[in-house]
Amino acid sequence: MGWCPDDFASSLTSVSDDTVAVYSRDLAAFAGAVAEDGIGQPGEVTRRHVRGYLARLTADGYARRTIARKLSSLRRYYRWATRSGLTEIDPTIGVSAPRADGRLPRVLKSSEIDTLLDHPRTSVSGDPEHRRLRDLALLEVLYGSGVRVSELCGLDIGDLDLDRARATVLGKGSKQRQVPLSAPAVVALDLWLRRGRHELVSDLTPPAAVFLNLTGRRLTPRDARRIVDRRAPSPTHPHALRHTFATHLLDGGADLRAVQELLGHADLGSTQIYTHVSKERLRAVLESTHPRG
């Protein structure tokens, strides 16, 4: 029967198209690797084959986080394969993923936030008003609401409720959630929509898109990265603003589950990394200010 990759992909109805593509690529890479050992069917794979594959990835220099993701993809596949009758045994059971790299997400300093929002680099001082209004609105939403950059780029005008200071975003797995908008974000969005957006509208403009690039098309995540980089004192990814949003909330005493809901995390474990970030920040303060730190 073979690996039936198309049937597996069709079964992934609860995840985004990007995630389906990742699962499919990981499965194809594994099937190609074990084919070198004469394995052509999922039912012929043993735990030894899976562990050998992970060992080869390690030897090839893959990051531990990437290896763990590939193992997760195989687990997902074999759960489906056993239910579908392609195999009776799941060879991923009992195989441990390597420990994650342990790198904590980058959190911007107050001075970096100040530069981004209020005192951008002089290179942008000559920008036309509509560009400055767009860029500020984008940054205020990223930092003030903690949305993913893909969620921000997907915003339509109908998703905004400025009177109630909230927006509806489409997150991972096509799940909708409402996020609050900060007071500065509401002001910045209002100015952009009233005084700036029309300057970029063209025949190519999606009628409902909130954020547009300089050619009038819907803003892309790559466009957003360029905007952040132009205003930041050093190269900065938009996701750093999401990390900073979450960490600042926890530093201010917010409940972990409230932060989980705001970020749209399905698993509380994904949010808990920010508690580690906060602890590291507190440790850094202690070491730099206490006489015996």
CATH of the domain at 43: 1.10.150
Within a domain: residue 94? no
What is the average per-residue pLDDT within 55-82?
Answer: 89
Tell me whether residue 265 is one of the annotated catalytic residues: yes
Within a domain: residue 91? no
Within a domain: residue 217? yes
Q: Are residues 191 and 255 in the same domain?
A: yes
Catalytic one of 70, 148, 218, 231: 148
Instruction: Annotate 140-183 with DSSP letters as a single string.
Output: HHHHHH---HHHHHT-BGGGEETTTTEEEEE-GGG-EEEEE--H
Q: Is 19 left (phi over 0), alpha (psi -120 to 50) or beta?
A: alpha
pLDDT at residue 21 in the model: 93
Lowest average pLDDT, out of 44-58, 140-154, 251-265, 274-288, goes to 274-288
Beta bridge partners of 151: none
pLDDT-derived band at 104, boundaries 50, 70, 90: low
Q: Are residues 145 and 283 in the same domain?
A: yes
Within a domain: residue 45? yes
pLDDT-derived band at 290, boundaries 50, 70, 90: low
**Is 82 in contact with 36 (CB distance < 8 Å)?**
no
Tell me whether residue 239 is one of the annotated catalytic residues: yes
Pick from 14, 16, 54: which is nearest to 33 by CA? 54
Lowest average pLDDT, out of 63-77, 174-188, 203-217, 262-276, goes to 262-276
Tell me whether residue 172 is one of the annotated catalytic residues: yes
Within a domain: residue 102? no
What is the average per-residue pLDDT within 105-112?
Answer: 84
Q: Percent of the chain having pLDDT more than 90?
A: 60
What is the Cα–Cα distance from 210 to 169, expressed in whole angstroms? 12
Q: Percent of the chain having pLDDT more than 70?
A: 90
pLDDT at residue 179 in the model: 97
Q: Are residues 193 and 281 in the same domain?
A: yes
pLDDT at residue 160 in the model: 98
User: Model confidence over 6-28: pLDDT tens digits?
Assistant: 999 999 988 888 899 999 999 99
Q: Are residues 123 and 17 in the same domain?
A: no
Within a domain: residue 190? yes
Q: Examine the pLDDT at 80 and tell me if it is beyond 90.
A: yes
Q: Examine the pLDDT at 281 and tell me if it is beyond 80.
A: no
CATH value at residue 248: 1.10.443.10
pLDDT at residue 136 in the model: 96
What dihedral do alpha carbons 248, 250, 255, 257 form, nearest 10°? Answer: 80
Catalytic one of 23, 53, 78, 274: 274
**Is 278 in contact with 269 (CB distance < 8 Å)?**
no
User: Model confidence over 250-272: pLDDT tens digits?
Assistant: 888 889 899 999 999 887 877 87
**Is 33 in contact with 52 (CB distance < 8 Å)?**
no
pLDDT at residue 289 in the model: 61
Q: Examine the pLDDT at 282 and tell me if it is beyond 60.
A: no
Catalytic one of 172, 177, 225, 281: 172
Q: How many domains does the chain have?
A: 2
For the chain, the C-alpha Rg in angstroms (whole number) is 23
Q: Are residues 210 and 121 in the same domain?
A: yes
pLDDT at residue 269 in the model: 74
Q: Examine the pLDDT at 291 and tell me if it is beyond 80.
A: no
Tell which of 84, 101, 133 closes a domain. 84
Within a domain: residue 77? yes
Tell me whether residue 53 is one of the annotated catalytic residues: no
**Is 220 in contact with 207 (CB distance < 8 Å)?**
no
Catalytic one of 49, 64, 239, 281: 239
Q: Are residues 235 and 180 in the same domain?
A: yes
Tell me whether residue 64 is one of the annotated catalytic residues: no
Q: Are residues 228 and 156 in the same domain?
A: yes
Mean confidence (pLDDT) of the chain? 88
Catalytic one of 76, 242, 243, 248: 242
pLDDT at residue 25 in the model: 95
What is the average per-residue pLDDT within 59-84?
Answer: 90
Within a domain: residue 99? no
pTM for the structure as a whole: 0.64
Q: Are residues 73 and 136 in the same domain?
A: no
Q: Examine the pLDDT at 199 and tell me if it is beyond 90.
A: yes
The two structure tokens encoding residue 65:
């986080």
Domain with 34, as residue range(s), is: 5-84
Pick from 170, 162, 221, 151: which is nearest to 213 by CA? 221
Lowest average pLDDT, out of 46-60, 154-168, 220-234, 273-287, goes to 273-287
Q: Examine the pLDDT at 96 and tell me if it is beyond 90.
A: no
Q: Are residues 151 and 35 in the same domain?
A: no
